[in-house]
Structure 1
Amino acid sequence: MPGVKEEGRPFEGEPARAKLFQHGGSQAVRLPKAFRFEGTEVSIRKEGEAVILEPVPPKRRRPRTKEEMEAFWAELDSYGDADFPDRDQPPLQERDWW
């Protein structure tokens, strides 16, 4: 197939065609296999007349198991200690609560 490498991936800048169709009230594009995205979402933007689709990285979910929590804290520790400078804080105000 012209414009497609042996591995099935498109050459950079090589044009290809895709079919448009209606899906409910929206217009959809049937992408050729070589242009498929992983995941369930893409970001979309317009540049002039061009419509640009880009993959959206999957959202991280909260750790649920002990192993996932340990991996989370290990990743956090890998960034090193946060060195926050001391702040000049005014003394606490005396308040009459009643």
Structure 2
Amino acid sequence: MSTSTLPSRVFMNGNSQAVRIPQEFRLDASRVEIHRQPNGDLVIHPLPEDRGEALLQALAGFDEDFVEALEEGQREQPPVQEREEL
């Protein structure tokens, strides 16, 4: 895939505005996340088809020592502090 800049067209699709994505930038996703940067640029991120599967894949990168440390940290939470009501 090229990292060049290509012109495209904006059009109406029902009540929504749509952007034609050139073939060179075709996305392998049926859903995307769009956010606007402070300078006004729009950034499009493809979303995984199965977000649960994406989470499991991300978690698979952690070793057992890391997971055990997290679990140990959860067991050693300090007691809840009692405070006067506001």
TM-score of the superposed pair, with normalisation by structure 2: 0.58
Q: 1:29 aligns with which of 4, 16, 19?
A: 19
* Residue aligning to 2:63: 79
Q: For structure 2, which runs of at least 5 residues remain unmatched after alignment?
A: 80-86
Structure with greater helix share of residues: 2
Identical residues among aligned pairs (%): 21
Task: State the structure with bigger RCO (CA 8 A, min sep 6), 1 or 2.
Answer: 2
Query: RMSD across aligned C-alpha pairs, in angstroms?
Result: 2.9
Distance in 2 between the 1:45 and 1:88 partners?
A: 38
Residues 1:88 and 1:31: Cα distance change in structure 2 (over 3 Å) = closer
TM-score norm. by structure 1 comes to: 0.52
When Rg is computed on C-alpha atoms for both structures, the one with the higher figure is 1
* Structure 1 spans left out of the alignment, 5+ residues: 1-8, 62-71, 90-98
Equivalenced residues, count: 66
